[in-house]
Structure 1
Amino acid sequence: MEKLTIGIVGFGVIGQRWTACFAHAGHTVRVFDPTERREQAFNEVLPELMADLDALKGTSYAPGEIHLFPTLAETLEGVDFVQENGPEDLALKRRLLADIEDHIGDEVVIASSSSALLVSDMQGECRLPGRVVLGHPFNPAHLMPLVEIVGGKASDPQAIARAHAIYEAIGKKPVTLNREVTGHIALRLMGAMWREAIALVRDGVASVEDVD
């Protein structure tokens, strides 16, 4: 795949790890976060994450540049793909996605990292809701290969395919859901396992230590 310019909106735990993934794969990454944590994370956390990826994948690569910007508008200038990593708050997500749209080209796909919200609900205030998809990673997101891709009711199949191709090109193993459901795939499976673990202990089948 050609080298891309990636916009990272939200530089918490997930955003930091997405940044490392894209940069390690050689893409230019432009980062925005409105909180004071951004500069410390940029200077202290990112080098550790890149070292993790070096240990996992090797060092025979040309890393992409990473830039930190003070405003959303500056961050998104000229980006080819946006990974949004804001808090799990529906009203905030809807506003944030609409704000992102104001600063990108109509062809740019926006992928949200949300683990709890439905894409159809997040698309509500978007001018072009078809370009919004979900790209949900798993912690530690720079090391775990699984990414769940989900489209909402208005999502364009081409946007889903674009996200899939980009994730695959950086070494992820994306799976695309046929339809959206709360918890996606893996979290629902994890929930079922957790419920069974509790039941086994509750019913005296095994101790906490043995189940663990």
Structure 2
Amino acid sequence: MNLAKANFHKTDKEAYSMNLVPTVIEQSANGERAYDIYSRLLKDRIIMLSGPIEDDMANAIIAQLLFLDAQDSEKDIYLYINSPGGVITSGMAIFDTMNFVKADVQTIVMGMAASMASVLASSGAKGKRFALPHAQVLIHQPSGGAQGQQTEIEIAAEEILKARKMINELLAKNSGQPIEKINKDTERDNYLTAQEAVDYGLLDGIMTNSSEKQ
């Protein structure tokens, strides 16, 4: 979880991965229609939050949340999370939108929900926050770097402290744990198994198959 805006440059590997996005062909009375897999999942109200959280990714997630809510605010939205975390402001933009929309947002952790992603995973609709059996959750305090004059370094340090207070208060609210425990447990990297995340109160249950979605 980082305070600073990050500049993410697409590497050759990332560009290669983008070319591997499958295309789904569907038959209809009007003929064939091709979708990329993410657009097809969106038809089923599924949003994939995968990879580092930064502005471009956050804007895409936000747009999908708003679209699905406008389409039908009575039906749940399913947010699948596999992310190492990222920029706090980008994550908070997603968080605020999850609360802004009328539709319940179910969260399902697969793989890892680390740092800012753990906040989002625990911020799904109460009773609808899940993990797959071998998923992990990582909570810790924000990090950031600063350089320049002493005043600038002091300002950056103060912002990190503000961010930590905000994040820990959200984790306390989402989990039901006392803020003192959250402060202690996020001093260092704190890895939780799916069951441990449920016991801690960050999630509500472990999902073993898609039929268990509510």
TM-score > 0.5, shorter chain as reference: no
TM-score by length of 1: 0.36
Higher strand share: 2
- TM norm structure 2: 0.36
